[in-house]
Amino acid sequence: PAPKAAPAQSAPAPAAPAFTGKAPRPEGAPADLLKPDEQLTSAAQLLFGDEAPEPAHEGQEQKPSGPHWGRLIGCVLLVAAIAGGVALWLWQGGKLPGGGSVLGDVGYGTADYDDAARDYLLAQQAKDAGVAAYLALPELDGSLVWSADATAPGGQQGGVVNAAEDTLPRFTGSETLGQSQSNVLVRCPTASMEQLSELVQEEVLKENSGFTLYTADGDYRYKVLAVYEWDPAETGESAFDLYGLQDLSNYEDYLTFVLGAKARSLYEMPADVRDGDAFVTLVADSPSASGRMLVITGRQLRDNEAAILFGNQVQPAEQPLMPMAVYESEGVSAPSLTTLSQYWLNWYKTGGATSSDVQEEAGMPDEDRPLSEVGGGEAVEPSASPAPDASASPSASPDASASPKPSATPSASTPATAEPTPGPTPAPTPAPTPTPTPSSGSTITVTMNGVRQEMDLVECLAMIARNEMGANAPVEAYKAQMVAAHSWILSQGGAPSVAGLEPNETIRAAAREVANQILTYNGSVAFTPYFASAAFGTNSSQEVWGGARPYLINVDSPYDKDYASNWQSTRVYYTSEVAARAQERLGVDLYAYSSNPEDWFGDIVKNSSGYVTSIRVGTATTTGRNLRENVLNNVNGKTLRSAAFDISYDAGSEAFTFTVYGYGHGCGMSQMGAWGYAANGWGYADILAHYYPGTTLVTQ
């Protein structure tokens, strides 16, 4: 909160301007805070205007108007009350009763908000030269920020790093914002910014996934990159020297800071990082333990990057690195720091690409690899699990001219005894055990987290499954994922890129059971792509890569919408963004095509699973896949999650809204679909047979 300030001394009043319906704003008060609206102005004129008629009561004659002493006294009292309120507001440092924002109800991110914030900052700097900035968040109270060496009201000196009693938000070192490869720290004690501790809550973070620092030199906007707990007293390999990582001009320091923040983040944030970015880190007291800090790191917006925040894309992180004291208190092993570092380095190098992205880029081999090239095998006996009904009809095909609607009940291919459950059935959590040494005797060559290496097969498959499906998926879903991943790796040859995280013993045990099993088709290793979640079914390989595989066809996937998070998502693109990309990637001038953007997209054709197979963009015709991957990919951080979408246009905001279903390329096995089938009683062999029909499960 802003410090309490004495009421401003009276000064000679300027000449009164002609009445315009707007109340004068006191110096230092934000714009529009005390502006009367038209109704209040009208009411004041009716009450106190010289020509305002006195209403006649029924049965009485209208009396001629004369001196209205009562009204005059009321007016004086009203003005005194307003003046007293303004003085109280200034005395409280601009805070509203009940803890409201100093900027009133003006919306964060608007021009009015920026004007109000600058006015407030300048007014406070005129009173206190130590004030350096104003920190604002979308839905939480903001605060003034002092220089590191500023003397606070009451004579309190700076030096916040060594002064635990300091209660004011202040910079801890450099105040040079916007400098490439720098990290400016702002210490935010609980006494001054208690609400920052609420950012550990997912819903609060979604509403506050960015912040702005207003200074006399300009406005600096940030997207939250990481939110994590930090123990300044931690030593050893896991220590993170946050205060020492402010000047990041050394590239090694830059990577150490970025990878360290991402590895520790409690949430996956929709903000990427590139070489040369600038950061601001807010350091608050952790609500969970004394001595720890809650750290919020923001990445500064780049030139020409839209300031829109995508809070709905915030997701809990799968395996954040916590302070070592947490693992010690719970008696569990910490994840491998080497694995985490490799994982996030690969994330940084690939711009946050997912497995589906990697597979799309790698493409489909022209031919399947003969089984003899990877070792012979014998068929695995089918399990006792209910087998998919090959004769079952697929779910109703979405109408290409209408929005696909999820089926209210499982499709006919679902086992008769299977009923959708409210949520995923977690695998049993075993007692923690140390990471085992390689035990399978078999190895496989991959580029794991950006590092080419020959790995123990069990550990490799377990790491992939842990990364792809999280820590609590059904065991049969893990097994299906491992067999699909193993077959995909072998089908690629060489050392294809995969990503993995430290697995638990449940996942390793599942890997031991299926490590030597792969899928084949007509004596060759099957090409077995996979993806996060399907729209209303899967795509064929012909629709994704342009080549046919008899076992990669459209199949039903009824559980995705029940088990996948953000199965339905939205992406908003402004007309200027769409027009620029259409010109750049398709060679189409949409403004020349039509002055009405509603005409820009048309002739949408969808397949039976809801994916767009053809769409007109101005004068060009393309596919939904190309629109997603090449035309509208990474536009100010926005990319369509799949090629299954509907489009609407809002003339008021001059923006297109894409309603997207599922996540990923859509060909092969849906991971959330596999989760749903496993939670409803299917074994891994049946799941694989459903998503790769006609293949054979063999043991090498």
Q: 142-164 b/e with 16+ CB inside 10 Å = b? A: bbbbbebebebeeeeebebeeee
Q: Return the pLDDT at 70.
A: 58
Name the percent of the chain lying above pLDDT 70: 73
Q: What does the block give as tokens for 4? A: 């309490």
pLDDT in tens, 137-183: 999 988 999 998 887 555 444 433 344 567 889 999 888 899 999 99
Q: Return the pLDDT at 527.
A: 97
Spatial distance between the Cα atoms of 116 and 96, rounded to a whole number of angstroms: 14
Q: Return the pLDDT at 375.
A: 67
Spatial distance between the Cα atoms of 532 and 356, rounded to a whole number of angstroms: 8
Return the higher-pLDDT residue of 635 and 534: 534
Q: Return the pLDDT at 48.
A: 53
For the four alpha carbons of 500, 504, 505 and 511, in that order, the dihedral sign comes to negative
Q: Contact, 33 vs 117, CB < 8 A?
A: no
| pLDDT confidence band for 398 (50 / 70 / 90) | very low
Give the CA angle between residues 592, 593, 596 to the nearest 5°: 100
Q: Return the pLDDT at 96.
A: 35
Spatial distance between the Cα atoms of 72 and 75, rounded to a whole number of angstroms: 5
Q: Does the domain at residues 128-334 carry the CATH identifier 3.40.30.10?
A: no
Q: Return the pLDDT at 665.
A: 95
Instruction: Determine the average pLDDT of the residues in 282-293.
Output: 86
Report the predicted TM-score, pTM, of the whole model to 2 decimal places.
0.67
| pLDDT confidence band for 68 (50 / 70 / 90) | low
Q: Is the model's pLDDT at 4 over the cut of 50?
A: no
User: 141, 309, 146: which is closest to 225 by C-alpha?
Assistant: 309
Element (H, E) at 282: strand 279-285
Return the higher-pLDDT residue of 97 and 611: 611
Return the higher-pLDDT residue of 290 and 301: 301
Spatial distance between the Cα atoms of 308 and 288, rounded to a whole number of angstroms: 31
In the three-class reduction of DSSP (H, G, I as helix; E, B as strand; rest coil), residue 255 is classed as helix
pLDDT in tens, 214-231: 999 999 999 999 999 999
| pLDDT confidence band for 309 (50 / 70 / 90) | confident
CA distances from 392 to 389, 413, 682, 684 (A): 5, 5, 16, 20
Highest mean pLDDT out of 439-443, 491-495, 608-612: 608-612
User: 423, 666, 690: which is closest to 563 by C-alpha?
Assistant: 423
Start-to-end C-alpha separation, the chain: 67
Task: Tell me the chain's radius of gyration from C-alpha atoms.
Answer: 31
- Looking at every residue in the chain, the average pLDDT score rounds to 79
Element (H, E) at 514: helix 505-514
In the three-class reduction of DSSP (H, G, I as helix; E, B as strand; rest coil), residue 497 is classed as strand
Q: Return the pLDDT at 379.
A: 63
Q: What does the block give as tokens for 456? A: 């123990």
State the maximum Cα–Cα separation within the chain, in Å, rounded to a whole number. Answer: 110
Spatial distance between the Cα atoms of 605 and 45, rounded to a whole number of angstroms: 61
User: 231, 233, 340, 357: which is closest to 295 by C-alpha?
Assistant: 231
Q: Which residue has the tokens 């021009």?
A: 111
Q: 577-609 b/e with 16+ CB inside 10 Å = b? A: bbbebbeebbebebeebeeebeebbeebebbbb
pLDDT in tens, 70-122: 565 665 666 555 555 444 443 333 443 333 456 666 688 888 899 999 999 99
Task: Quote helix, strand, coil % in the chain, to nearest 5.
Answer: 30, 20, 50
**Would you kindly state where each structural domain of the chain is located, as residue ranges?**
28-38+90-127, 128-334, 573-659
pLDDT in tens, 187-220: 998 877 888 889 999 999 999 999 999 999 999 9
Q: What does the block give as tokens for 292? A: 């720890």
Lowest mean pLDDT among 92-101, 343-352, 580-589: 92-101
pLDDT in tens, 85-98: 444 443 333 443 33
